[in-house]
């Protein structure tokens, strides 16, 4: 490794050394609470569309917390965040392309 990379590594290591563990444990606790809410909703007798909408919102919040804190995306450069969001948007767009094909099974019926 050249000197520039070693200096960059040293600076990043020094920056992360001063992070406290309190936010990590708070996020972990929040994830536990959100998981508990999801399990509780699974046992409730409510409209499936409403429950699915609530569960999807909770899952998006959980994914954002996991990506931000446990995958350290919160501390990444802005370019990396944009690249990740563009990749996510592309994957979601590709899923939308193939969803209509998945719905054809509803018209096939059970044999």
Residue 89: domain span: 77-111
User: Where residue 17 falls among pLDDT bands split at 50, 70, 90?
Assistant: low
Q: pLDDT for 31-75, tens place per residue?
A: 999 999 999 998 998 888 899 899 999 999 999 899 888 887 777
> 2 pLDDT exceeds 70?
yes
Is there a single domain that holds both residue 63 and residue 93?
Answer: no
Whether residue 15 is found in the same domain as residue 59:
yes
Residues 49 and 66 reside in one and the same domain: yes
Pair (71, 82) in one structural domain: no
Asked whether residue 71 falls in the same domain as residue 81, the answer is no
15 with 42, same domain: the answer is: yes
Phi, then psi, of 43 in degrees rounded to 5:
-95, -5
Q: Does pTM top 0.85 for this prediction?
A: no
C-alpha distances in Å from residue 63, one per residue of 4, 60, 85, 91: 34, 5, 13, 15
- Averaged pLDDT for residues 84-99: 88
CA gap 35, 70 in Å, rounded: 16
């Amino acid at each position: 490794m050249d000197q520039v990379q070693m200096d960059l590594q040293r600076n990043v290591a020094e920056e992360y050394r001063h992070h406290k563990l309190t936010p990590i444990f708070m996020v972990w606790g929040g994830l536990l609470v959100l998981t508990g809410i999801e399990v509780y909703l699974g046992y409730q007798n409510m409209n499936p569309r409403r429950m699915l909408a609530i569960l999807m919102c909770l899952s998006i919040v959980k994914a954002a917390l996991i990506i931000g804190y446990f995958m350290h995306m919160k501390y990444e450069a802005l370019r990396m965040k944009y690249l990740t969001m563009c990749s996510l948007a592309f994957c979601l767009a590709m899923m939308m392309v193939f969803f209509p094909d998945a719905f054809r099974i509803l018209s096939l019926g059970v044999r």
